[in-house]
Each structure stands twice: as structure tokens, then as C-alpha cells.
Amino acid sequence: MKIDFSQKPKKSLGQNFLIDNNIIKKIIEIGEINNNSTVMEIGPGYGSLTELLVNKSPKNIIVIEKDIKLYKLLKEKFITCDNIKILNKDVLDVIKKKNLNKNIIVYGNLPYNISTKILSTLILLKKWPPWYHTLILMFQKEVADRIIAKTNTKAYGRLAVLSNWRLVVKKHFDVSNNCFFPKPKVTSTVLSFRPIKNNKFKLKNPKNLEKITQLFFSNRRKMINKSVKKIFKEDKLIVDNLNINLKQRPGELKSEIFHNIACQYEKLFG
Ligand code: SAM
């Protein structure tokens, strides 16, 4: 695919465009698109992924591009496609909307500066199961490593705990920095996510989990007893029921423990 990169890439919008056709094809294949699918793309840029999505002939395609110039180029490029809706919006506003179709397959070579914000917004949606069926997203490798990190590793922290709460995460492959223009400094990784429809730890206000993980992991090297005390004061019954060793550090606790703590916190304090 030959793209005329007619304007200077904007760093502020995380513009690193994919230029490797094999990688683009591999990403598209992950989603198992059929004629009945609705597909969304976050940040289509010049439309290199979008083109292949169109070739798969899904029922509907929604693409969201914040850059007005790229939006105009996309409007021109896909002028003959009647199943594509091109929005000049901020994706963070669109994904919170209540009127989105169900079962959408979401693609995104994400703008790196807001990639974790996009993911956490998709996890913390009030309505669950959510409107999306699958997320197929590319992150900087370092961020992807934090998302899939296991307990007792350096990368394990808030992102893994949040992701494990509502999503099943799968790593697909790494993408060399040579596959982009302009070339970023780091390697990227493609992950996919499926919502867990019936997770054990339900929260009325998912932000409570964010609050809890923030509290614990801002004291990563300290034993958890202080954080637990801060939340539950001296309520021994609750602490006993959590079944945790207060001498452990946050990185040693499985994700479910944090999910449980958030539930107990919500029961007590709303
Ligand atoms: N998908 C294209 C590709 O792979 O070549 C472009 C990927 S580039 C990493 C990220 C794209 O997201 C850019 O086109 C950028 O303008 C767009 N973008 C950045 N912030 C955005 C936001 N808040 N909402 C929607 N699009 C955004």
C-alpha cells in the first residue's frame, strides 16, 4: 500500500502510521469479521487498516479520527463506501456513548499518549456486558507487558488488576518499530480482549476499583497493612474475611484480592 503522507505527523496525537502490509493483514485477521459484523476503528489515520476492514465487507464500519485534516482525507478516500461512518471526534467521548450498537469488533493502532486512558475507559464502563464484542488493540510493548503481567513480576500493577477484572486478554505478536512511519523508538504489541460477561466481583461504581488500586500501588514497596487499615480502619471481621496476609506487598496479591477489596469497600462506603 502506498500512502502519500501529505502532512507532518503530529506527535501530540500519537501519529505513527503502520506501513507494513503483512502486519496490517495479520491484525485484521484476528477479528473474524463477517458480513453481519459491525466494526469500529479508533484513530484510522490515513486509513491503511480501514481499507482492509472495508475489503472484509462487514455490515457497518465506524471510524473515529480526531485530526480534522485526516478526517477530510478519509471522507474523500472512502466516498464510494456506503457502509462506513467517519466521525471527526475524540474517541474518549464516543466510547462512553450509550447508543452504540452491540457486539462491535473494535480495532485500534492506538495513539500511545492516551492508550491506557482508552483501555481503562473501556473497562470501567457503567453498563456491563459492554457494547463491544472484542477489542484488538496495539500498544507500546512496555504497556502491553503491564497489561498481561502476572503477580510477583515487576510489570504487575494497576493495569493488570483492572484488565483482569473484566477482560480476558490475549497477546498476539510484537511489531517492530520498522513497521511504522515515523519510526517510534520502541517495539509495539498487539493484544485482544474479550469481556467476561459474568464476573464474580460486581461493582456499582467501577471507579472504586481504580481508587483501591491507586491506593495500594502508590505504596508498592510497603506492606499492605497500612493501606488495608486506611480503608477498613480496625474492622477485624472484614479484614479476616479478606483472607490476606497483611505482611505481603501489593505486587504479591492476585488480582481477585483487589477486586474483592473494592467490593467490600463499595459495600461499606458506596
Ligand atoms: N490507524 C492508523 C495506522 O495504523 O496507520 C493510525 C494510527 S496512529 C498510531 C493514531 C491515530 O489516532 C492518528 O491518526 C491520530 O490522529 C488519531 N488520534 C489521536 N488521538 C485521538 C483521539 N483522542 N480520538 C480519535 N483519534 C485520535
144 CA → ligand 1 middle, Å: 18
Residue from 162, 193, 192, 122 nearest 255 by CA: 162
Give percent of the chain above pLDDT 90.
85
33 CA → ligand 1 middle, Å: 22
Homologous superfamily, domain 11-195: Vaccinia Virus protein VP39 (3.40.50.150)
CATH 3.40.50.150 segments of the chain: 11-195
Question: Does 36 score more than 80 pLDDT?
Answer: yes
Grid coordinates representing 118 are 482508552
Does the structural domain 207-269 have CATH classification 1.10.8? yes
CB atoms within 10 A of CB 15: 21
Q: What is the pLDDT of residue 240?
A: 83
Q: What is the pLDDT of residue 242?
A: 85
62 CA → ligand 1 middle, Å: 14
Question: pLDDT for 82-122, tens place per residue?
Answer: 999 999 999 999 999 888 989 999 999 999 999 999 999 99
Q: How far is it, in rounded angstroms, from Cα 13 to Cα 11?
A: 5
258 CA → ligand 1 middle, Å: 33
Pocket test for ligand 1, best of 8, 17, 140, 183 (most atoms within 8 A of CB): 17
CATH 1.10.8 segments of the chain: 207-269
Q: What is the mean pLDDT of residues 59-82?
A: 97
220 CA → ligand 1 middle, Å: 33
The pLDDT-based confidence of 253 (bands split at 50, 70, 90) is very high
Question: pLDDT for 121-168, tens place per residue?
Answer: 999 999 999 999 999 999 999 999 999 999 999 999 999 999 999 999
Query: Which residue has a Cα nearest atom 1 of ligand 1?
Result: 44
Q: How far is it, in rounded angstroms, from Cα 155 to Cα 7?
A: 36
Question: Does 241 score more than 60 pLDDT?
Answer: yes
The pLDDT-based confidence of 30 (bands split at 50, 70, 90) is very high
Q: What is the mean pLDDT of residues 6-12?
A: 88
| Ligand 1 site residues, Cβ closer than 6 angstroms | 13-18, 43-45, 48-49, 64-67, 70, 90-92, 109, 111, 114
Q: What is the mean pLDDT of residues 10-20?
A: 95
